[in-house]
Amino acid sequence: MTIRPIIEAPDPRLRVKSTPVETVDDDLRALIADMFETMYEAPGIGLAAIQIGVPKRVLVIDLQEEEDADGQPIRKPLVFINPELTDPSEDLNIYNEGCLSVPDQYAEVERPAAIHARWLDEKGVQHDEAITGLLATCLQHEMDHLEGILFIDHLSRLKREMVLKKLEKAKRQKKAA
Ligand code: ZN
């Protein structure tokens, strides 16, 4: 397993539409293992393959909502290959979202509170489930990455420009430090 560099906005690769996975094989599972390692190390709760420069329709998510007795997050890794989302609820949820490709920037985004999802896991098994709560928000955020969409695209132009300016400034300061 390898920790891979995460691509950051405004890198044009984040705007690429990812293509479907044709076979779930050991090469793909090696990519997925790298994605988990990269996500946990960052740390984050979700990562799309394109965020490490691979334009394939693969997402990894681990909300890490619970902790063990030592305060360590309990891992419940989820893999979504070729995910398809349908039946968005009219009910909306607002969540203060962030993104490993837009580091240290957060903004409230409104999304359907529930969705229906179909996907393959890392064994090639098909899943078909209704999804709610933080997982629904996270899955929609990651799904956007497969279409070349970032969470900041859901903000007003003014807010989006503010976030991108802050990001650029933070990068300059990091370089100067
Ligand atoms: Zn993201």
142 is catalytic: yes
Q: Is 93 exposed, middle or buried (0-12, 13-18, 19+ CB in 10 A)?
A: middle
Query: Which residues keep their CB under 5 angstroms from ion ligand 1?
Result: 99
**Is 59 a domain residue?**
yes
Distance 57 CA to ligand 1 centre (A): 14
> How many domains is the chain partitioned into structurally?
1
Opening angle at CA 153, ends 34 and 139, nearest 5: 45
Please report whether residue 119 resides in a domain: yes
Backbone angles phi, psi at 98, to 5 degrees: -135, 180
How far does residue 98's CA lie from ligand 1's centre (Å)? 7
What CATH number did the domain enclosing 121 receive? 3.90.45.10
Residue 21: inside a domain, yes or no?
A: yes
Q: Does residue 101 belong to any structural domain of this protein? A: yes
- Residue 177 is predicted with a pLDDT of 78
Residue 5: inside a domain, yes or no? no
**What pLDDT does residue 78 have?**
98
Quote the pLDDT of residue 63: 96
pLDDT in tens, 17-40: 999 999 999 999 999 999 999 999
In-domain check, residue 4: no
Q: Which domain holds residue 112?
A: 12-176
Report yes or no on 132 lying in a domain. yes
Q: How far is the CA of 34 from the centre of ligand 1 (A)?
A: 17
**88 in any annotated domain:** yes
